[in-house]
Structure 1
Amino acid sequence: MATYSLELKLNTKKASDCRYLENYFREVAKISNTVRRFAMRRIECLKRDKNYRDLLAQYIKLIKLDKGEEKEAVSKKLSAVVWSYGLTKFHLQKTALNLRKNLRYVHSDVYQKICDQVWRGVEKVLYADGKRLHFKKWDDFLSFEGKKNTTGIIYQDGKVYINCTPKRPKGGIILSVKLPNNKNSDHWNYETRCLCDPTKYCRIVRKKFSSGWHYYVQLIQEGIPPQKHVRGTGRIGIDIGTSTVATVSETACHLDVLGDSVKTKEKEVKRLQRKMDRSRRATNPQYYNEDGTIKKGKKRWSYSHHYKRLRDQLKAMRRKRAAALKQWQEIYANRLLEEGDEVYVEDMRFKALQKRKKKTEKKKNGRFKSKKRFGKSIGNHAPAQFLTIVKRKLDQTGGKYHEVNTRKFKASQYDHVTDTYTRKKLTKRHHRSNGEWVQRDLYSAFLLMNSDKNLKHADRNLCLLHYPSFKKLHDQCIEEIIASDRHIPASFGFYRAA
């Protein structure tokens, strides 16, 4: 069954309600970190087991040799060793259950969901590219959820029941949700239509404001959300970068910076960070050397009330920007899907682009090359989040989302006219197709739109068929960008005449 979420603000004017939710979050943090500690110790013991290390080395060798039957037999032995160390979802839940006997607030469904979340981290460490588990700070726990809408956390008739039920209202708290005041607004109509669908389960979310925590409920509804936009038909090619996005469909071309209208407020952020640093140095002088650097070793920092207020302001500022960026991406995705329902995009690994370069290199003048990559750009523009939004909207409306093989497709190197591949430098932001200037990102999106069925190459016949119409849309898109007053980044490869 398809699902979607509806977020509503909770009415928490009573101080007792805020204290109840705060204590709930503290217990959630305690259970989560206790289970993490158990899992981390078990993983350390497992990795010291010689039998496990030998089986793991044998399993990796068999993967390279592609021996299926032998690999399956070794895999079963590995699973048995892992199970013997208590690294299963059942053992994690049992650990949380023993701890929950001494706690007051957390419901059984909630602690099971907490264990499921920790178990996903354990699976990444054991079976994927995860290196180790990490503890989480209390401020980093931003949500908890149930498993059904009949116990634990219940939504019914505009009210949320936590640790109580409509028939038995004592023992927990009852919070009302806030709906828009204007009943004629599109916002009110959308939310009331969503509330007609059955609720699968509820999630309580908190967000940091400069005035403190604000609480919301996310209702996971069954079905397809009400559609506010007309969905188009046809192919769309998306060439996504770390900060820009180029899209080509049969009816339009777009070249934009992800979240170009969202203000970064970098100066204000840096000013707050300097204030916080001065405050922390004043309250913890024993942890600093004479030259101002931090001393090595474990420390127990103390923070003043002034520091905490500044920290809340900084968190609120970052939360606002993240919310504004997500809203921009949702609007952009809606506009994009009005042009088609079949999206083709490269399978990008943005996590790899965030990492610093390991190899140390020097320039010709003897200076060291920078090891920085695209971490800040990805953090400010969230390209992976945009693709997730597009995929979610396509799944809800029955569209198709295709990921082409980046290494085999080589969208930035292919020329459909000559049917050849030519490697280009990253600084070269254009392509010459039959002598005509074409913006590089838009041309890559055009090739992705005309992908073949195997998703490994561009279909040359489709490219030759659709290129004339694409060139007209391409030129129109470039002219509109130059005529507008928006900022044109250097990565676009063209500029506005002075």
Structure 2
Amino acid sequence: MATYSLELKLNTKKASDCWYLENYFREVAKISNTVRRFAMRRIERLKRDKNYRDLLAQYIKLIKQDKEKEKETVGKELSVVVWSYGLTKFYLQKSALDLRKNLRYVHSTVYQKICDQVWKGVEKVLYADGKRMHFKKWDDFLSFEGKSNTTGIIYQDGKVYINCTPKRPNGGIILSVKLPNNKNNDHWNYETRCLCDPTKYCRIVRKKFSSGWCYYVQLIQEGIPPQKHVRGTGRIGIDIGTSTVATVSETACHLDVLGDSMETKEKEIRRLQRKMDRSRRATNPQNYKEDGRVKKEKKRWAYSHHYQKMRDQLKTMRRKRTASLKQWQEIYANRLLEEGDEVYVEDMSFKALKKRKKKTEKKENGRYKSKKRFGKSIGNHAPAQFLTIVKQKLDQTGGKYHEVNTRKFKASQYDHVTDTYTRKKLTKRHHWADRDWVQRDLYSAFLLMNSNKSLEHADRDLCLLHYPSFKILHDQCIEEIIASDKHIPASFGFHRAA
């Protein structure tokens, strides 16, 4: 069954309600870090096991040799060794059971969910690309959830019951949800329509504001959310970058910076960070060298009350920035899907793009080149989140999401006029299609839109058929960008006339 989430603010005017939820989060943090400690110690012991290391090396070797039968046999032996160290979901739940019995707030279903989240981290370390597990600070615990809407955390008739039920209201707290006051409002209509669907389970979320924590409930609803936008039909090509997005459909072309309104918020965040750095240096002069660098030895830091207020303010600003960016991406995705219901995009690994270079290189003057790549840009613009939003909206409405093979497709190298591939430098931001100047990202999106069935090459016949209309839409898009007041990044490859 398809699901979606509906977030509603909780009415926590009573100090006792805030106190109850704060203590609940403290117990969640305590249990989570206890289970993490158990898992981390077991993983360390497992990695010191010579039998495990030998079997793991043998298993990796068989993967490279593509020997399926032998790989299955060694895999079963590996699983037995891992299980012998108590690294299973059941043993993780059992590890902090005695601790939970002595705690007051955390329900058994919430406890099981906490252990499941820790188990996902264990699986990343053992079976994926995770290096090691980490403890979490109390401020980093932002949510807890149950497993059903019948016990632990229950939503019914506009109220949330925590550690109690509608029939037995004693023993926990009852919080009412806030709906818009104006019943003619679109938000009120949308939320009331969502509440007609059955609730699978509830999640309690807290968000940091300058005045303190505010609490929300996320209802995980069964079904498809009410549609507020008309969905179009047809193909859409998306050429996604680390900070920009180019889209081409049969009716429109778009070239935008992902979250172009976030630049002012980023400047405010950097200004506050510099202010915090000055305060930290003033209260901890013993931890800095004469040239201003931080000493490497073990240090103790003292933070003034003014610094702590600024730290809370910084968290609030980052939360607002994240929420604004996601809202911008949601609006952009809705506008995009009004033009089509079949999306073609390159299969990209943003996780690899944000990693530093491994190779050390020098410039002509003898200085070392920076190893930084696109980590900051990806963190500020969240391109993977945008693609996730598009895919989720397509799944909910029955659309199709296709990921083409980046290495075989070579959208930035192909020319549909000559049917040839020409490698271009990253600094070259345009393409010549015969005698036509075409913006590089928009042209790549055009080729992706006209992908063939194998998703490994552009269909040349479709490209020749749709190119004349694309060129008209392309020129209109460029003219609108130049005529607007928006900042034009250098990566677009054009600028306004002086």
Which range is displaced more, 276-285 or 313-322?
276-285
- Per the alignment, residue 381 of structure 2 pairs with 381
Q: What is the CA–CA distance in structure 1 between the aligned matches of 2:156 and 2:397, rounded to whole Å?
A: 27
Which range is displaced more, 90-99 or 220-229?
90-99
Give 3-state SS (helix, strand or coil) of 1:272's partner.
helix
- Per the alignment, residue 197 of structure 1 pairs with 197
Cα offset, 1:342, TM superposition: 0.7
- Per the alignment, residue 391 of structure 2 pairs with 391
Cα offset, 1:366, TM superposition: 2.1
1:485-496 alignment to 2 at 5 Å?
A: 485-496=485-496
Give 3-state SS (helix, strand or coil) of 2:139's partner.
helix
Which range is displaced more, 419-428 or 479-488?
479-488
Q: Deviations over 1:452-495 (max 9, x none)?
A: 11111111121111111111111111111112121111111111
- Per the alignment, residue 418 of structure 1 pairs with 418
Q: What is the CA–CA distance in structure 1 between the aligned matches of 2:326 and 2:222, rounded to whole Å?
A: 23
Cα offset, 1:198, TM superposition: 0.5
1:94-493 alignment to 2 at 5 Å?
A: 94-493=94-493
Give 3-state SS (helix, strand or coil) of 2:226's partner.
coil
Q: What is the CA–CA distance in structure 2 between the aligned matches of 1:479 and 1:326, rounded to whole Å?
A: 28
- Per the alignment, residue 61 of structure 1 pairs with 61
Q: What is the CA–CA distance in structure 1 between the aligned matches of 2:89 and 2:196, rounded to whole Å?
A: 35
Cα offset, 1:222, TM superposition: 0.4
Give 3-state SS (helix, strand or coil) of 1:177's partner.
strand
Cα offset, 1:186, TM superposition: 0.5
Q: What is the CA–CA distance in structure 1 between the aligned matches of 2:235 and 2:254, rounded to whole Å?
A: 14
1:82-101 alignment to 2 at 5 Å?
A: 82-101=82-101
Cα offset, 1:291, TM superposition: 4.1
TM-score, normalization: structure 1?
Answer: 0.98
Give the fraction of aligned pairs with identical amino acids, expressed as a percent: 90
TM-score, normalization: structure 2?
Answer: 0.98
Q: What is the CA–CA distance in structure 2 between the aligned matches of 1:426 and 1:176, rounded to whole Å?
A: 54
Instruction: Letter of the 2:375 partner, please give it.
Output: G
Q: What is the CA–CA distance in structure 2 between the aligned matches of 1:267 and 1:484, rounded to whole Å?
A: 22
Q: What is the CA–CA distance in structure 2 between the aligned matches of 1:106 and 1:29, rounded to whole Å?
A: 10
Which range is displaced more, 290-299 or 136-145?
290-299
Q: What is the CA–CA distance in structure 2 between the aligned matches of 1:294 and 1:271, rounded to whole Å?
A: 20
- Per the alignment, residue 18 of structure 1 pairs with 18
Give 3-state SS (helix, strand or coil) of 1:403's partner.
strand
Cα offset, 1:497, TM superposition: 1.1
Q: Residues 335 and 267 from structure 1, CA distance in 2 versus in 1: closer, same or farther, beyond 3 angstroms? A: closer
Cα offset, 1:94, TM superposition: 0.6
Instruction: Letter of the 1:309 partner, please give it.
Output: K
Instruction: Letter of the 2:115 partner, please give it.
Output: C
Q: Deviations over 1:357-400 (max 9, x none)?
A: 22221112222212111111111111011001001101111111
Give 3-state SS (helix, strand or coil) of 2:402's partner.
strand
Give 3-state SS (helix, strand or coil) of 2:262's partner.
coil
Q: What is the CA–CA distance in structure 2 between the aligned matches of 1:491 and 1:379, rounded to whole Å?
A: 18
TM superposition outliers: structure 1 runs of 4+ over 4 Å = none
Q: How many residues align?
A: 498
- Whether the 8 Å contact between 1:452 and 1:458 is mirrored in structure 2 is yes
What root-mean-square deviation, in Å, do the aligned CA atoms of Structure 1 and Structure 2 show?
1.3
Q: What is the CA–CA distance in structure 1 between the aligned matches of 2:208 and 2:290, rounded to whole Å?
A: 36
Q: What is the CA–CA distance in structure 2 between the aligned matches of 1:219 and 1:299, rounded to whole Å?
A: 44
Q: Residues 50 and 28 from structure 1, CA distance in 2 versus in 1: closer, same or farther, beyond 3 angstroms? A: same
Instruction: Letter of the 2:37 partner, please give it.
Output: R
- Whether the 8 Å contact between 1:263 and 1:321 is mirrored in structure 2 is no
Cα offset, 1:76, TM superposition: 0.4
- Per the alignment, residue 51 of structure 1 pairs with 51
